[in-house]
């Protein structure tokens, strides 16, 4: 578990997994607002060689996956990518998610990353969501009874969402880490998901 002793505070670093074909838009709200509320966002790749996102962005990882330790992190973010369904290349990231969850450090997975966690067995006994029940069922996992038809789901230290819900995904991440709380978190979600002008006034009051 993360230490609660003030002499050993919870890390303020969030790690974003990056790999070829990652879906740029799925974690943008989460990482931007975590950075704006005092978290450092560091990227982690299979190696430190550059990767290229689905949108064509070239990203050079800050560190390699082999150097990532749960105790140095507040959260592991796993975006979707074509590679999640194209073989086992990203399986090591699902293994890292297991290590994080075993250490009591949160993991947030969206879109194809949920299928990676399903293959790793991490959704067999946890409430979760994803693109569709059929999509996760195709992995052969045993967690169908725990699937929730929701925009995003937080189950203890695990956050999941489908590909069309980057804002709801960010809401759960921001709430889990305490970046926004209560009425502020609600106002943030109403502004970015519902375009509620009253929410803008609340956030800037």
Q: What residues act catalytically?
A: 111
**φ, ψ at 176 (rounded to 5°):** -65, -35
| Strand 75-78 with 107-110, pairing | parallel
Question: What 3-state class would DSSP assign to 98?
Answer: helix
Q: In whole angstroms, what is the distance from residue 95 CA to residue 93 CA?
A: 5
Residue 79, CA distances (Å) to 5, 91, 142, 165, 196 in order: 31, 13, 22, 12, 27
The token duo for 135 is: 């999509």
CB 55 within 8 A of CB 86: no
Q: In whole angstroms, what is the distance from residue 167 CA to residue 115 CA?
A: 20
């Amino acid at each position: 578990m993360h230490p609660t002793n003030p002499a050993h505070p919870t890390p303020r670093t969030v790690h974003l997994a990056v790999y070829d074909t990652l879906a740029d838009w799925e974690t943008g709200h989460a990482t931007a607002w975590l950075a704006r509320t005092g978290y450092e966002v560091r990227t982690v790749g299979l190696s430190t060689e550059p990767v290229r996102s689905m949108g064509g962005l070239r990203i050079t990882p800050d560190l390699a996956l082999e150097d990532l330790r749960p105790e140095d992190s507040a959260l592991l973010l796993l975006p979707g990518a074509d590679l999640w369904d194209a073989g086992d290349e990203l399986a090591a990231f699902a293994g890292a998610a297991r290590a994080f969850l075993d250490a009591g450090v949160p993991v947030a997975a969206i879109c194809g990353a949920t299928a990676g966690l399903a293959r790793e067995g991490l959704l067999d006994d946890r409430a979760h969501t994803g693109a569709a029940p059929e999509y996760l069922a195709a992995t052969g996992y045993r967690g169908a009874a725990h699937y929730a038809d929701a925009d995003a789901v937080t189950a203890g230290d695990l956050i999941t969402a489908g590909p069309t819900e980057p804002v709801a995904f960010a809401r759960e991440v921001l709430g889990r880490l305490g970046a926004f709380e209560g009425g502020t978190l609600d106002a943030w979600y109403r502004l970015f998901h519902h375009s509620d002008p009253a929410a803008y006034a609340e956030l800037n009051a």
